[in-house]
Every structure is written in C-alpha cells, then in structure tokens.
Amino acid sequence: MNLHIRCMVSDTAEYSAVAINQYGTTTSKAMVTVKRPAGGAGESCHLGLVPHLTEIHPSKLEVSLLDRFHVTFGVEGSSVSLVCTMVVVPDLPNVPPLAQWYRDDKLLKPGKLVEMSVSGGAARLTLPHAAKDDEGLYTLRIFTKDGTAEHSAYLFIEDAAPSVAGAPGAPMSVKAYDINMDYVLVAWKPPNTTNEAATSGYFVDRCEAGSDTWVQCNDSPVKVCKYPVHGLRVGHTYHFRVRAVNSAGISRPSRKSDKVTALDPAESERLQVIKLDGKPDIVIKDDDLEGYVTIPGEPTDVHASEIFKSYVVLSWKPPSPRGRAPLWYIIEKCLAGTGTWQRINAAVKLHSPRYAVFDLEDGKKYHFRVYSVNTYGFSEASAPTGPIQKVDEHGSERPAGVPSAPGQVVATRNTKSSVFVQWDPPKHPNNLMGYYIDGRAAGSKQWFPCNHKPFKHTRFVVHGLVPGETYVFRIQAVNVYGLSDESQESSPIAVEPALGGAVEYATPSAPFGITMLSCDGSSMTLAWKSPKHCGGSKVNAYYIDKRNADTLAWKEVNETSIKERIYTVEHLTEGTFYEFKIQAGNMAGVGVPSAPSTPLKCEAWTMAEPGPAYDLSFSEVRGNSLVFLWKAPVYSGASAVTGYFVDMAKKGSSEFVTLNAEATSHRYLHVKGLEEGESYVFKVRAVNAEGLGKASQVSEPVCAKALPGTKEIVCGVDEETGDIFLSLEACEICESSKFVWSKNYKAIGDCPRVSVTAKGRSSRLTFTNPDKDDLGRYSVVVTDTDGVSASHTVTEDALNSMLELSYAIRHPIVPLKHGLNYEILEKGHVRFWLQAVKLSSAVSYRFIVNDKEVTSGEGHKISHDVGTGIIQMTVDHFTKANEGTYTVQIHDGKAKNQSSLVLVGDVFKVALKEAEFQRKEHIRKQGPHFSEYLSFTVTEDCTVMLVCKVANVKKETTFHWFKDDEEIVPDAPPNVLSGSCALPIPLFSRKDHGIYKATLGDDRGKDTSLYDISGQVFEDIINALAQIAGASASELVLQCTPEGIRLQCYMTYYTEEMKTVWKHRDSKIASSEKMRIGGTAEMAWMQICDPTDKEKGHYTIEVSDGIKTHARTFDLSGQAYTDAYEEYLRLKAAAFAEKNRGRVVGGLPDVVTIMEHKSLSLTCTVFGEPTPEVTWFKNEQEVASNPHTKLTFEGGKFASLVITEVTPEDSGKYSINVRNKYGGEFVEITVSVYKHGEKIPEPKLGQPKAATPAVTPVPPKSPAPPPKTPTPTPSKSQTPAPSLKSPTPASTPASKSPTPTPKSPTPPRSVKSPTPPRFMKSPTPPRK
C-alpha cells in the first residue's frame, strides 16, 4: 500500500495506517517532517508571496512594545482578540518579529480554534469561537536583539446564556484517555455553580469525525467527571463532548474533544524490529514466534484501575500466548463470600482489556475474573481480584472523593478594579484539579463567579470589580468528583488601588505631548498631556527641566511643584532653541521624565491668527457619540477668537474631516454618528477676524465605547420635599474622586441657584428656586476615574412638568384611583363609592347630598376601608327623591381632596330604572324563577334544543312550553327538580320560526322566559347546524338517473336554509332547468340534466357555518365522466321503454264467479306505444276467437273476451298478454262457473306477475374518450344503504308515466321479458 503526497511544510504530522480483516487489526505509524529547501524561496513563490529581501533573522530586530492588551472578558461562543502594538527596527515587511503565545505557560499553536498573526506593527491572537477552555493567563513573547520582550494578562470567558433558565454551565477540558479498539475513557472538568442548583450528573456524547450526528453514550447521568465509553468501532475516529445536568435542566454542550482513533495500543508492542546495516529492517510479530496457538492463554493482572460511586473500571493484561485468531474477553463477578460466579458481559463482545462495571450494590464487595476467548474456545480463568467495593471509606459522610473545603481566605487591595485573593489549601485535596473563586457585593445575596475554569494555585487576582464597591469572597476546591463545600467567607474589602508593587507603577509614568502655546521672545508657555499611568494615586505635581538644544546639561525650571498642565517658562534667550522634559509626581514620589520635546525656538509670535488650543479632553463617551472639549488658545492673535473648527480622523488615518461647517463659539462639541468600538483622534483650530489659526496637537485616541455599567443623569422631583434635582450614580469611583458639575460645560462652583451633595457613588444637584434661567445643558465629571461622566439638557417643557409635580408634592392632595361613582346592588340598593390611592387610619370624610351632610343611619350606611382606600355610602331605598348632586370631602393629614357626582335628568333616570329592575329581580327570585333564560344548543345529531335553567322550585311547580301562544306538549314531561328543562326541535327549518315561551309557576309566584327564533337567532341556529353538518359531510358521490347525472353529499342533517353553494370550475352554480339543486334531510344534491361535454370539470359543494367553510369536491372528467354519461343514456332509454311498453291499464277483476248459462265479459283498457298486441290465454293455452268465445280489440285501446253462455267447462285461469317492442305485461283472472242451486265456491286468487320490459336499443354513444375503465365498486362499509344502484324502470316515480299503473295479476308461466343491460354502480360512501 502506498500513499503519495506532494509535500508542503504544513504536511508535517504523524501518519497511521490501519489494516483490518476478520482475524483482527494491525497498525503502523510514521512521523513525517517536511523542511524547506535551502533559501526557502521555492514555497514562498509557489504561494504567491513576496520573496525575502534579506537574510536578517527575526531575533536581530529591535522590538519595543507599545499598547499592550489588558485583562479581557469574553463570553462563550464569541470572538475574542488580544492585540499588542510594537515598534520594530528595522521595520521590514517580509521579516516580522518572531512572536510566541502562551496560555498558562503552555505554548499555543495556530489552528481552527487559535489564530495568530504578526503584521502592521501589531501581534494579534484571535479566538474565533471562545470557550471556557480558553480561559487563563496569556503571555506574548517577542524575540528581540537583546533577548525577549514579554507581556501577560488574564482572559476570562463567561458562561453563555443557558438553554434553560437555571441550568448549569457547560463542562470543559474534555479529553480522551486509555484509547483501545472499542473503548476509551473520557474525562473533563466540572463547571462552577454559584446561584444555580448543584450539578447532579453528566451526559457524554460521541460523534464520528466528519459527521454532525451526536449520539448519547450514557442513559442516566454519570456523577463523576470520568466515563468509560464502549462500543467504538476499530479504526474509526471520534470526537466527544459533555453536558451537565441539574434539577433545572441540561447545560449547553462543552467544546468537543480532539479527535481520537479507536486502535489496539498493544499492536506496536507485539512487533520486533531487527535493524541490518545497509539493508531494510526486518519486522517480526510475536504471533510468528508463538508458533501455532489455537486456544489463547488466560489474562493476567486483573485489577480495578478506576473506582467511583457510579462504576468500577476493570483492567488486565492481554494473554500470552494469544494466538492469531481474533480475541475477545468474558468477565465474571462474584459477591464476596458466596462463591457463585455470574457472567457480566454476556451480550457484549469485548475486544479491549478494559471494562466498566455498573449496577454494583452499595456497600458490598465483589471479586472479578476474566477469560480469553477466540473461535477455538475459552482460556482458563484469570486469577480473581481481591475484594473490590464501589464507594471508598471516605464516601459515607460526603460524596466520594470530594476535597475538603479550602482554609482561610484573605483579600487585599490591588488596583482600582481588582482585588488580590489568597487562601489555604484543603486538608484533604483528593487529586485536586483546582479552585473556583466566587464573590458577591457586601449586602447582596447573589454570588457571581470570578473564574470559569479551575485555577491551580492558591492565589488569584479578581478583575472587573466596580471601583469603590465592597466585596466578600469564598473558594471551592474541585476534583473529578465535583466541588467541595464552600470555604468561609473573606472579610469585606473595598475595591481601591494599592500603592507599591501591587500595580505596574508606584510613581506616575512620564507625561508626553509637550507643545508650545505662545512665545514673546523671552518666555514660552508650554502645555503637556497627563501620564498614561498615575501609579495608583492622583498626580499632584509636575516638574520641568530645560536645556539649550546644543548642550547636554539639564536645568530645573521650577523648584516648587506645578499643579496644572500649563506653565510659562521665563528668562529665555531670543533666537535660541530649547528642549524640555517633564516629570509627574504623586504620593509615591516623582516618576520618570518624559522624552525631550522637539527643539523649540524662542521667537516672538507676531502672526495675526490665533495660536493652538490645548488641553484636549473627552467627556460622555458612548457607543456612538462623545463630547470633545478644549481650552482657548493662550495666544489670540491680532483680534479676539471668534470660534473654533474641529477635525476628526480614525486612529491610524491621516485623513481628517471637519465636523462643523460653521465655527462654534463654544469650547466643546457634541460629536455624533461614531462607530461603536472604533477609535478616533481629534484636533481643533481657533479662528478670529484675521483667519484660521494654528491647529492644536492631535488628541489621544478615544474609543467610542461606554464604560461597563455606565448610567445617565436622572432628572426628577423629590417625593418628600418636592425639590427638582439632577442625579448621577457613578459606575466607578475611588476615595479621591470628586463630582464636578457644569452648566453648558462651565464649572458651576458656588452658585446660589443650586446646591450639590454627594453620598457614596451618587451626587445630586438640587435647584434652589428653579425658573427659566436654569434651562441649559448640565454635565458632571467624576475625577480620578476612567472618564465617568454624563450630561442632561433641561428643557422648558420638562421644567414646567417638574414644577407642576413639585407644587403637587408641596401642596399635597389625597390621590384618587377612582372618583365618586355609583353601582346598583342586589335588592335595588345603590352604592356610592370612590377609591383613594392610599389612606391612613386618621382619615376623615363627609358625604354631602344636595348641600346637606348625610350621616350613617336609617336608609344610609357609610364606611371606609384603609387597606383598599375605598370610601362608600349605600342607599337602601333609591327613589325619585334621591336625584341631585353627591359630594365626598376627604381629609388625611395635610392632604385633602373631594369628588362629586351629578345624578340628575336622564342619568338619574337610568340609575333609578336599574335600581327598580334589581328590586323586581329580587322579588322574582323569591318564587320559582329562571336562573338562565331560554337559549339554544345543537346536539351531534343536529337536533335543536331550547334549554333553560330553573331555580327555587319544588315538586308542585309546573312548567309549560308554548309556541306563538299555542302550548307544546313534549313527549317527555319537563322535570323542574333537575334544575334544567329542554325542548327538542328535530329537523329544524324555516317552519320552526316563531316566539317560544316557557312558563314556571306554583303558589309562590310565576316566571316567564321568551325566545324569538327569527332574524339573527335563526341565522345562529342554522350556522350551528351547518357547523355539525359540514364537519360530517361525506365526499361527493356520483349517481346517475334517467334525467341526468347527480352529485350527492351525505351529512348528518341538511336543510335548504343552510348556506350551501355548489360550484363548477370555481364558478357558483344557480339552480335552473339545466342544473337542479336540492336535497333531503340526509343529503344535498345537484343534478346535471341532459349532460354535455360542457359540464365536465371539478364540482365543489361548500357548506358555510359563518366562521368556517366545509368543502367537498368531485372531478367529473375523463373516465369518470364517460362512465357516468353511458350510464345516464342507458337509464334514459330504460325509462323510455318503461313508459311506452304494453300494459293493462285497468278494468279486469282478479276473480270472477259466475252461474252457468250466464254471459261472461272480460274487458280491459290497455296502453302501449306503439299499439301493443293482445293475446288471451286459458290455462296457459292461447284462446282463439269462435262463436262461443269472442275476442275483440277496438281502437288499439279496449280488449275484450266474451263468452255468451258459460258452462262449467269454461272455469279456469284466464290471462291476457299485452306486449309491444318495449315489453309487455301478463294479467291473470280466475273464473269459476257453478250450477244453479250450488253453493258459490270460494275464490282462488292467482299470483300477479309483472312482465319486464323488452330489450331497448341503446342509442349511439356520444363522442367520448377511449375505452372506459370500470369504476371501482366500494366495499359495503363505504356505501350508503339507500339507493345502492341506479334507478330502474320499476322504481321510476308514477308521475313519470302517462297513466297510473295498478298492480295486476300475472300468469304463472315463467316467461321473462328481456331486461336492459347491467347498470353501473356509483361509489357511494356510508352515510354518517
């Protein structure tokens, strides 16, 4: 087997080849290292890169780190970047410095999860999909000419939002160990839990490499952070992940593990390599040295390699000899002391020398032994293990193996946003993984995690804290069993900077940006920028040194400290170039000096334009806006400064854009439209009457991003005093911080119009006597912070609203939720009430009606409820005398209020009418009455029920139904004692219109309920019927008749009042001679009379219930139409034949009894078109006309048989056969002749038998489709009972014949008339 690769450097790796057959597997590995050829230009050119221009090694470069990455916070799933800028000398684009990144002192390599780059003067590390596995201390190491330059900072990765509220965070650091052919041991680290429920277990999932399908490995959660996974396929590669479980739900999955391949680790150990100088190596397998072995030896060294509360992992050494046949193992267990062995893995073919045993009983000890098995048989059993128990001796008091709680926790100050925490390790570490640190604000009960990945040391710097806030901390130890108990809490500590070694600088860093603001020939005015690092305390002093640019010696300019960042250096020599350097000082001392300024020439400024503005600063930095401020130029030029222009550019760009089209007279500018997260630089130019002045220095870059926790100024009114105020709560603060308030960005200072107070992290500006002079933009800056600031504009409308609220607070009223109102109570009582927002127990009030106070007494009840704030008065008997105005006056402490209600005119009449109605209702309910008046319901079988409920009835109470004042007597008498009565109205239709009445009465009184079924009520009933009927509607059924083709829809009930629409090809069909629409109580139908090809297509019936439309369709086209049309023609012809066949219309008796010698005349009327032939029979023998028996047939209508003198021989069975080409009919007559004086014999009737029509010629088919396909005949369950077959002539209604057809006796002879061809059955579903 060969593998050919066109190698590149990136192909360097370890390669494996796995061979598998039915006898087993074998593996071979090789390490391939690909090197560049000498010069290295080949690959670069192949990749299209610029060839190296020099052979300078990266370590020969001079590298100085500039902006360094800080402590960074990220969230699972987000992208996080760490960037460090640098200056490289020489700066060669093709020779970047050699940079290495470390996490917790482990070298990182670029890949899908870690991206690295060094270009453009910056080293960047990006985590495109951050996970908690990525948390740790990151170190950048740059190799320089003098050695290395390094920088480190911590990266924190928080848990992403849980999939279920309260679910735990995701586990981390998932790795696979002990890899075998079908087994692997997966281990991970547990997540931290602060306020969530404790983690109760874990689910382990696996996924084959290249697939996105994850399979859960364990049915129930495993309680420790290890799990043995069985059932892997040899040679296959897998990833693993873990999910944590608690009482709230399941966490998000962890990051998947590195891929592992299921292989036999002992394969390489069974190979021996013999090296021969100059010749290929010889590889020999142990199998070759064993000879021919069939049954393998027994395993050895069986022992428990992992013992946990959930399971025990057994391990052993493979047998020797093992044979060449594929090998597997069988394990048996024995309860200690019993001697009974039981097989464990009967259903699992185990190939690896590892196995996890679950379901062992707690507190019991077991022995285990193992057999080797192949196709030839079993080995001897291995030596049994010693007693093995699931839970160790420390597991009785706490979860097995969990560390004890850490010791004393001590927190000390570090920086203004971090605290240094250290603790004592636990007394029982039990294979400690690390620690979780939790914190909480003093006074709060909510803990927050300080780290999200176990930290291995006993000291930790907690970052991201709120400056000035006080915190306490606790520690938990972590191992494979979970988290220990919490340690004791630390003492509370305020977050404030510490002086000395806890910060990077104890003294300030160097000032920078020295610039000249003015020069008169003997002095220079200088300004500079604050140090980037204050050293942990406020910078309170600056010291300036100067020197002649041609000399090396520096001289002090000021012996006493300078507080401001502007100073005029005097006693200079005109025309001389000077250099300056500046040092900053704080409580820790004087810091390092700045770099020397550029040489500045002492030459008097005489230009007419203004000099540069200075002291550029920023305030109120937000995601898309900021306020840019500056100070006026020291040198104003030939005339006063009239305004300023502000220019802005993105950091790193030299393309400045002027922000204001016209010069602003203010020394600030509100800049909007910034991109969040982008950095910008600014400069400002002053202008006077002479023109545009010199630009200021470019500002420091500012990032358009609000500080975490930033809050805005709140404008409000004090609820107690009514004072109007502006307030800010700072997101960070330190001991030396001050709140500086400004109006229109001019410091307010001591002003009688306002007063400023500060408490903790909040400051309030209160207006003394606010009016229009106080309108404007107010801002506040918190000093000694990272730019905490905010502003608020007080507008005239807002001020007026607050003045109104202030007046209301200072002149309080009792606030009302509801003003005075009334409601009618039972028995006709009237309640007058109002509700206050709040009442005290000392409240007093008065009810005044028509200017007279009303007190609680006869006819009036007055009360109040402090809890609900309700004050009420109830009038027992409300009459016309109560018309008027009602007022309530309330006094509650200093507050008071009143509310009035006018009840006069129509308003009073409505109230009086309602009160009288309620009185009558009360009286009505003293006797039998309707608790619910008449209404309707519709049952499932579409019976309309009029229902009502009755109350206060007794056995003697009578109940009657009426319609239009006529009493209805239902089949079942009403049972009033049941509490309800119902009147069924079956087959409801328009005939049931009317006014229905129910009466109820006994000796205590009578009550009546009326229900008018018309108008909307009738429509509602029809819609309710349509809802049930439409839902029960069958599919459309095709039925052929002699008149045409009929489509039928069976349903529970149908009436023509339902909103039913028939459609043909989506067009509504109107009933006509061509398209007849009708129905019965059980179906709706539509008949196509004399169909033609125009009637082909889709037919739909729609039954609407006012809300939903129920539709059924039928496709009358193609073969369906052809078959239906042929059946229609057949039935039409059969009906024509039935109509015109020969028949006896009337006149013949069934029995004739006659005395001999009398004359017998059998005469009848016949019909047929064409005229039928008439034949008479006696005793089934044809009768011919003779003198004794005379036969006549007159006018083709009247047939007679006359016997002049009858004799006994004339007795017998006579019959007449009337027939034409369409068919005929037999009629029988029994004739009995008796002699004179004899008893008249009893008549014996014959059996009439109607003849069937003759064969009717079928008309020619209409132009039709190809040969028809038989229509499928549905099963009985699908076919409705009525009209299974198409109508036959016998079932044709009598009205279709020209004359009625009475039943006539037929001769007994079994002569059958020809019948029409077999008709077609239409598929008809069963009626529901």
DSSP 403: P
Q: Provide mean pLDDT across the span 417-440.
A: 90
Distances (CA, A) of 112 to 96, 126, 129, 444: 22, 10, 9, 41
pLDDT band at 1323 (very low <50, low <70, confident <90, very high): very low
Does the structure show a pLDDT above 70 at 600? yes
Query: Is residue 291 predicted with pLDDT exceeding 90?
Result: no
pLDDT category of residue 347 using cuts at 50, 70 and 90: low
Can you tell me the mean pLDDT for 972-982?
Answer: 92
Mean pLDDT of 1218-1244: 85
Phi and psi at 783, nearest 5°, equal -70, 160
Is the model's pTM score more than 0.75?
A: no
Residue 52 in this model has a pLDDT that exceeds 60: no
Sign of CA dihedral 634, 637, 639, 642: negative
pLDDT band at 9 (very low <50, low <70, confident <90, very high): low
Terminal-residue alpha carbon distance, the chain: 74
> What confidence score (pLDDT) does residue 1113 get?
95
Q: Give 288's contacts (C-beta < 8 A, 6+ positions apart).
A: none
From residue 1239, give the alpha-carbon distance in Å to each of 1152, 1209, 1213. Answer: 15, 17, 20
- The pLDDT-based confidence of 732 (bands split at 50, 70, 90) is confident
pLDDT of res. 1313 = 38
Tens-digit pLDDT profile for residues 642-673: 999 999 999 999 899 999 999 999 999 999 99
Q: From residue 419, how far is each of 441, 533, 1089 by CA, in Å?
A: 13, 18, 97
Contact assessment for residue 136 and residue 125, using Cβ atoms and an 8 Å cutoff: no
Q: What are phi and psi of 142, to 5 degrees?
A: -105, 130
Q: Please give the helix or strand (H or E) that residue 1136 lies within, else none.
A: helix 1118-1140
Rounded distance between C-alpha atoms, residue 595 and residue 585, angstroms: 16
Q: What percent of the chain has pLDDT over 70?
A: 86
Q: In the sheet that 614-619 helps form, which strands lie side by side, from edge to edge?
A: 614-619, 625-631, 668-672
Q: What is the DSSP string of 659-719?
A: --SS-BSSSEEEEE-PPTT-EEEEEEEEEETTEEEEEPPPPPPEES-PPTT--PPEEEE-T
Q: What tokens were used for 344?
A: 């464990």
What is the average pLDDT value for the chain, to the nearest integer? 84
Question: What mean pLDDT do residues 541-550 have?
Answer: 90
Q: Which amino acid is at 425?
A: P
Given this model, what pLDDT does residue 1264 score?
36
Phi, psi angles (nearest 5°) of residue 1140: -110, 5
Q: How confident is the model at residue 1302 (pLDDT cuts 50, 70, 90)?
A: very low
In this predicted structure, what is the pLDDT of residue 1326?
Answer: 41
CA distance 632 to 1060: 88
pLDDT tens digits, one per residue of 190-207? 999 888 899 999 999 999
Q: Of 468-482, 743-757, 1308-1322, where does mean pLDDT reach its minimum?
A: 1308-1322
Distance (Å, rounded) from C-alpha 717 to C-alpha 771? Answer: 14
Burial 810-848 (b: 16+ CB within 10 A, else e): eeeebebeeebebebbeebbbebbbbbeebeeebebebe
Confidence label for 733 from pLDDT (cuts 50, 70 and 90) = confident
Strands (E), 913-957: 929-938, 944-951
CA 327 distance to own-chain centroid: 51
For residues 363 and 935, which has the higher predicted lDDT (pLDDT)? 935
Q: In what order do the strands lie in the sheet with 895-903?
A: 852-854, 844-849, 884-892, 895-903
Q: What is the pLDDT of residue 265?
A: 73
* Greater pLDDT, 216 or 16: 216
DSSP letter for 222, please. Answer: B
The C-alpha torsion from 184 through 190 and 191 to 192, rounded to 10°, is: -170
Q: Which residue has the higher pLDDT, 751 or 48?
A: 751
CA atoms within 13 A on the CB side of 272: 7
> Of all helices (H) and strands (E), which one includes residue 921?
helix 905-924
Confidence band (pLDDT; 50, 70, 90) for 1216?
Answer: very high
The confidence score (pLDDT) of residue 55 equals: 45
Per-residue pLDDT band for 750 (boundaries 50, 70, 90) equals: confident
Band (pLDDT 50/70/90 cuts) for residue 282 is low
Q: Are 442 and 471 in contact (CB under 8 A)?
A: yes
Of 538 and 770, more confident: 770
Tokens of 1060: 């039913």
- Amino acid letter, 563: K
| pLDDT band at residue 108 under the 50/70/90 scheme | very high
pLDDT at 22: 62
pLDDT tens, residue by residue, 1073-1114 = 889 999 999 999 999 999 999 999 999 999 999 999 999 999
- For residues 412-441, average pLDDT: 89
The pLDDT-based confidence of 284 (bands split at 50, 70, 90) is low
- Amino acid (1-letter code) at residue 514: I
Query: Residue 1021 pLDDT > 80, yes or no?
Result: yes
The DSSP line for 551-591 is ----EES-SSPB-SSEEEE-SPPTT-EEEEEEEEEETTEE-
SS3 1000: strand
401: region left, alpha or beta (phi > 0 left; psi from -120 to 50 alpha): left
Q: Which residue has the tokens 């013992």?
A: 307
pLDDT average, residue stretch 754-783: 92
For the segment 680-700, the average pLDDT, to the nearest whole number, is 94
Residue 152 in contact with residue 139, Cβ under 8 Å?
A: yes
CB 394 within 8 A of CB 474: no
Say which amino acid occupies 774.
Answer: D
- The predicted model gives 237-255 an average pLDDT of 94
Pairing between β-strand 1223-1234 and β-strand 1151-1155 as defined by DSSP bridges: parallel
Say how far apart CA 655 and CA 657 lie, in whole Å. Answer: 7
- pLDDT number for residue 8: 56
Whether 376 shows a pLDDT value over 90: the answer reads: no
Q: How confident is the model at residue 1248 (pLDDT cuts 50, 70, 90)?
A: very low
What does the pLDDT read at residue 990? 92
- Residue 909's alpha-carbon distances to 37, 829, 904, 913, 1094, in angstroms, are 110, 15, 8, 6, 69
Top-confidence residue, 34 or 548: 548
Give the mean model confidence (pLDDT) for residues 1034-1042. 93
Residues 113-119, mean pLDDT to the nearest whole number: 92
In degrees, rounded to 5, the angle at the alpha carbon of residue 929 between the alpha carbons of residues 923 and 934 is 130
Q: How far does Cα 612 stand from its chain's mean position? A: 59
Q: Which amino acid is at 1172?
A: P
Q: Are strands 641-650 and 600-601 parallel, antiparallel or unpaired?
A: unpaired
1112 contacts 1033 by C-beta, under 8 angstroms: yes
Torsion-angle region of 240 (φ positive above 0: left; ψ -120 to 50: alpha; else: beta): beta
Helix (H/G/I), strand (E/B), else coil: 152:
strand
Q: What are phi and psi of 1289, to 5 degrees?
A: -55, -35
Task: State how far the Cα of 805 lies from the Cα of 1092, in Å rounded to an integer.
Answer: 85
Residue 1161, token pair as written in the block: 């005349």
Tell me the average pLDDT across 161-175: 92
pLDDT for residue 1263 is more than 90: no
Give residue for tokens 């806890």: 502
Geometric angle at alpha carbon 355, from 352 and 361, rounded to 5°: 170
Q: Can you tell me the distance from the alpha carbon of 1152 to that of 1005, in angstroms, rounded to the nearest whole number?
A: 74
User: Quick one: pLDDT band at residue 64, thresholds 50, 70, 90?
Assistant: confident
- pLDDT tier, 1251 (very low <50, low <70, confident <90, very high otherwise): very low
- Residue 44 binned pLDDT confidence (cut-offs 50, 70, 90): very low
Quote the tokens at residue 1283: 């009209």
Q: How far is CA 274 from the centre of its chain?
A: 66
Separation of alpha carbons 486 and 477, rounded Å: 8
Query: CA–CA separation, 1132 vs 1124, rounded Å?
Result: 12
Place of tokens 């041991």: 185
E-strand stretches of 1180-1299: 1181-1182, 1189-1194, 1198-1203, 1212-1220, 1223-1234
- Give the residue among 373, 374, 391 at the shortest CA–CA distance from 382: 373
Span 1157-1191, pLDDT tens digits: 899 999 999 999 999 999 999 998 999 989 889 99
* Contact criterion met (CB below 8 Å) for 803 and 770: yes
Contacts (Cβ under 8 Å, ≥6 apart) of 783: 736, 737, 738, 740
Question: Across residues 444-465, what is the average pLDDT?
Answer: 91
pLDDT, residue 268, reads: 61
* Residue showing tokens 């308030």: 741
User: Taking 50 as the threshold, does the pLDDT of residue 492 lie above it?
Assistant: yes
